Amino acid sequence: METKNNWKAWLYLAPMLLLMSVFTFYPLINAFIISFYKGFRPLQNSIEGFTLLGNYLLILRNPLFWNAMKNTFVIAFISVPVSIFLSLAIAVGLKSIPKLNKFFQTIFFLPYVTNSIAVGMAFAVMFHKNYGLINAILERLGFAGRIDWIGGTSSWWTQMVALLIFTVWESLAFKILVFTSGMQNIDKQYYDAAKIDSASKWTVFRRITVPLLSPIILYISITSMIGALKAYNSVIGLFGIKLGNPSNSMITIVAFVYKYRAELASPGYYSYAAASAIILFIITVVFSLIQGVVSKKRVHY
């Protein structure tokens, strides 16, 4: 009987395992192998030989790669905690207005089902120096002068602030939905007991809501970090193919991979892209493991 159930379980898992093998495991293994090719030309399907760490060393000596690393880490380490804090605060606020809860959930969920590049282009208009909404609001608030957020005279800092605002806004939708669903599953008895003890709202949030949501917070933290490390669409949508001003000033690791992946005619560039993708994979796995180990002590099941 147990053997029969095991076969059924594997049968149910088979479609997912097949899709993962085709679209995840095979590309990963293939990229790993290609990263050791020397002078690989994918159009001619020819290589000059093999190299152990040559492609990886070339990437690590490339200043553009380190710029991509810097931008990616800034996006990840700022946008993830800020978006988690804001989404949790919004979810708590939505819980306090049950009559309008569904309406606001729908409003906040819209960015999740909207094309990132299209929204990025809309944000690019909002951040325009002369007719953008952001500068118009700042002028109304009394700030003198127009800030060039993403234009030709903008600095790295203003471009990064604009990118972070867009990234945080874009990532709120899914987190709000998950936190709202999580809070609906918290037993109401905990809140009733807190009312009897005359606990403040802050105490209830800190002692009840956050601990009981800790598994969800851990899940959101890990998935958000993975998503932030793969930032690409938001950069393309906001800055276009130039990836910032000057060109490549806002490049991320994934954009770096795409940049070298597109150079099909140049010998070895495809292998550089594969090697940088493997480096990104290793970074993602390491950060996920660190988050899991560190957060494990603070997660309550």
For the stretch 59-70, pLDDT in tens is: 999 999 999 999
Q: Could you tell me how far CA 37 lies from the centroid of its own chain? A: 30
What pLDDT was estimated at residue 157? 92
pLDDT band at 299 (very low <50, low <70, confident <90, very high): low
Q: What is d(CA 87, CA 219) in angstroms, rounded to the nearest whole number? A: 14
Whether pLDDT at 3 is above 70: no
Mean pLDDT value of segment 272-300: 82
Kindly list the domain boundaries of the chain, sorted by start residue. Answer: 63-296
Among 108-112, 141-145, 204-208, 268-272, which stretch is predicted with the lowest mean pLDDT? 108-112
Q: What is d(CA 212, CA 22) in angstroms, rounded to the nearest whole number? A: 37
What pLDDT was estimated at residue 2? 53
Query: What are the start-end ranges of the H helices in the chain?
Result: 2-20, 26-34, 54-60, 63-95, 101-109, 116-126, 133-140, 156-184, 188-196, 201-204, 210-229, 233-239, 253-261, 269-296
Kindly report the pTM of this predicted structure.
0.86
Closest CA to 268 of 34, 30, 63: 34
Q: What is d(CA 293, CA 301) in angstroms, rounded to the nearest whole number? A: 15
DSSP 3-state of 113:
helix
Which residue shows structure tokens 């159009």?
A: 43
DSSP 3-state of 268:
coil
CATH topology of domain 63-296: MetI-like fold (1.10.3720)
Q: In angstroms, what is the C-alpha Rg of the chain? A: 23
